[in-house]
A and B are shown apart, each in its own frame.
Chain A
Amino acid sequence: MSMTITEKILARAADKAVVMPGENIWVKADILLTHDICGPGTIGVFQREFGRDAKVWDRERVVIIPDHFIFTKDEMSHRNVEGLRTFAREQALPYFYDPGTPTYKGVCHVALPQEGHVRPGEVIFGTDSHTCTHGALGAFATGIGNTDAGFVMGTGKLLIKVPPTLRFTVSGLKPDYIMGKDIILRIIGDIGFEGATYCAMEFRGDAIAALAIEERMTICNMAIEAGGKNGIIAPDEKTLAYVRARTPKPFTPLYSDPDCAVAKDYTYDVATFEPCVAKPHSPAEYAPARELKDVKLDRAYIGSCTGGKLTDFIAAAVILQGKRVSVDTFLVPATQEVATGLATEKINGEALTNIFKNAGCLDIAPPSCAACLGGPPDTFGRTHGREVVISTTNRNFLGRMGSKDAPIYLASPLTVAASAVTGRITDPREFL
């Protein structure tokens, strides 16, 4: 019986030879990821249901990465991180990345793979909808709520429905001005905000294979913006090299059978893609950037699990080198590793940090989710008024970055950087 990569991973995790879309199965979790805004509630459910002194099912598999409300004066946010600290100590968790210490990482969806917790063929549950990011490394990864996460914490298992697969084949030679963000925004625009509800979104084709791992993460990260249960890309040599450089743990990759059935096939020629944006207030509001040059901006933002990786900052720096931004430009590296890369990575001999400084960007913030989701009032980059924002993040919902009156346009780092220079939405081909 032929199966997709998603079905094969779930079948193995359920100790079954075959699973079918729509089937409800119990699967074993390889990793449970949580953070500072859903971790406290998850622990609350776990201790209420399994007992105050209960132990997590496997302390090697519970990974806690605080990242959302870190650099704030908000006392409740500090209380929540302190609760995680206590729990990690009580449970002797080896993978708690503690803010304010050298183990602090930053945004969980970039830190999880960087620290070697994402391995092809495994099952990852996380208390965050963008957990689907990790499918970029050939894992099954999906977001869950606190109650389900509390259950996983106690038992290591979860009842899930096997999703049907929507398969997106993107072929052709990818132009330099097209990034992972342009590919996924176009696809979401085509299938709609709920076009993949309950489904797996599998991406393949030579244009996908040509992408760096970080760029593949951008694509899988936004599967949820079409309602997808998971995004996934079959592992290749790049994937295996990335993972092996980060963990000595063994893993067994899985791949779709060549003749497997999928619910729907979509094919694209990447040459037809253009630098694009998603207009307020939905990631599915696709428009080519060149059609919106009359939109005047107040702010540019580069950061988050979607658009705050080193590859994203390199793309922005390619545009910004030797130029000046004309709007406030906020830079938030996703993780400490990315922040370090900004200082060491160079273009034409100039470090990214200097390129951004000379371009007039605001001082680079420490790694965290920051204004991607608004957050406490003192969050770096948060909107408070009617700022018009162009951002490399993943959601442009009403009020997403803080103020309901601040419209958000989503775009690739190339498009965000080009727009930061002109102060209007700008197709980066004007600068390349």
Chain B
Amino acid sequence: MAGKKKSVISNQQSAISNPKSAIIRSRVYVVGDNIDTDQIIPAQHLNLVPTIPAEYRKLGALALSGLPADYPPFIKRGAAQAEYGIIVAGRNFGCGSSREHAPIALGAAGIRAIVAESYARIFFRNAIATGEQYPCETAANLRTVFQTGDEAEIRLDREEFVHVKSGKVFKLKSLGAVMPVVSAGGLFAYARKTGMITA
């Protein structure tokens, strides 16, 4: 699919002003249970500092490079970003380290949302604090339906996750207070926007 637009994210701008209209449409990359932070970004790359723009982008190019060899490549050789905007995962996504490099690497690779059965605590929080992606949860086992490369749509307003080809709709758990923080672009941006922090 070389040359194809990486991921289609509609209404992302309006999502910031009005989260109720946010729709994320993209191809998905599917992973299993217990995807740990060493698989998301192996420790040897932690010499990269996420707040330096060139190194932020480099983290993106290395995202999920720690997955087992039998996974399809998340990022094509030489590409800066993935062809996917959504990750579909099982239980305990992001377990292990507190490295914020993990949600950042995924965000820099173009991941705007993850739909998992559950998350490890620190990863979930880091995804929100950085505003890198929506950490959506569902009770459904999505991996019986979704295959890597399938088109999907997240309707944040209706708390739904849609498998486009089959039309199957899965209920997402409410993001609640998490939603406006991610929509604003993270903890600090949200705090400024809502007047919690001045300047």
Contacts and interface: CB of A to CB of B under 8 A. Distances in A.
A144 B99 contact: no
Contacts of B51: 40-41, 44-45, 48, 146
B18 interface: no
Interface in B112-156: 118, 120-122, 125-126, 129-130
Nearest to A146: B100
Given A49-B188, A398-B68, A399-B66, A37 B95 contact: no
Contacts of A156: none
Contacts of A150: 188
Residue of B38, B118, B126 contacting most chain A CB atoms (<10 Å): B38
A395 interface: yes
Interface residues of B, number: 37
Contact of A146 (B43, B48, B50): B50
B120 A227 contact: yes
Contacts of B1: none
Interface string A367-382: 0000001111100000
B26 interface: no
A374 B118 contact: no
Contacts of B91: 194
Nearest to B100: A145
B44 interface: yes
A38 B100 contact: yes
A375 B188 contact: no
B46 A68 contact: yes
Interface residues of A, number: 48
A409 interface: no
Contacts of A151: 187-188
B44 A404 contact: no
Contacts of B52: 44
Contacts of B66: 398-399, 404
Given A147-B188, A193-B34, A129 B96 contact: yes
A400 B50 contact: no
A145 B125 contact: yes
A147 B100 contact: yes
Nearest to A47: B51
Contact of B49 (A41, A69, A131, A402): A41
A198 B43 CA distance: 24
B100 A76 contact: no
Contacts of A227: 92, 95, 120-121
A41 B50 contact: yes
A91 interface: no
Interface in A381-407: 395, 397-400, 402, 404
B172 to A, nearest CB: 19
A145 B47 CA distance: 16
B186 interface: yes
B173 to A, nearest CB: 14
Nearest to A401: B43
Contact of B125 (A148, A194, A397): A148
A229 B188 contact: no
B92 A148 contact: no
Contact of A37 (B46, B126, B129): B46
Contacts of A419: none
A69 B43 CA distance: 10
A77 interface: yes
A274 interface: no
B151 to A, nearest CB: 29
A49 B189 CA distance: 9
A147 B52 CA distance: 14
A229 B100 contact: no
A397 B49 contact: no
Contacts of B188: 45, 49, 147, 150-151
B47 A127 contact: no
Interface string A31-59: 00000011011001100110000000000
A144 B36 CA distance: 16
Interface in B145-199: 186-188
A127 B98 contact: yes
B12 interface: no
A201 B95 CA distance: 17
Contacts of A126: 98
Nearest to B97: A129
Contacts of B48: 76
Given A74-B47, A376-B47, A399 B118 contact: no
A197 interface: yes
Contact of A376 (B44, B49, B50, B121): B44
Contact of A147 (B38, B95, B126): B126
A397 B38 contact: yes
Interface in B38-76: 38-39, 42-44, 46-52, 66, 68-69
A131 B121 CA distance: 14
Given A148-B129, A193-B92, A194-B118, A375 B43 contact: yes
B39 A399 contact: yes
B100 A41 contact: yes
Contacts of A143: 98, 122
B39 A69 contact: no
Contact of B39 (A148, A198, A229, A398): A398
A80 interface: yes
A353 B4 CA distance: 61
A399 B98 contact: no
A128 interface: yes
A361 to B, nearest CB: 25
Nearest to A394: B96
Given A37-B99, A69-B46, A147-B126, 13 more contacts: A37-B46, A41-B50, A41-B51, A145-B98, A147-B130, A148-B125, A148-B126, A150-B188, A194-B118, A197-B120, A375-B43, A376-B47, A399-B66
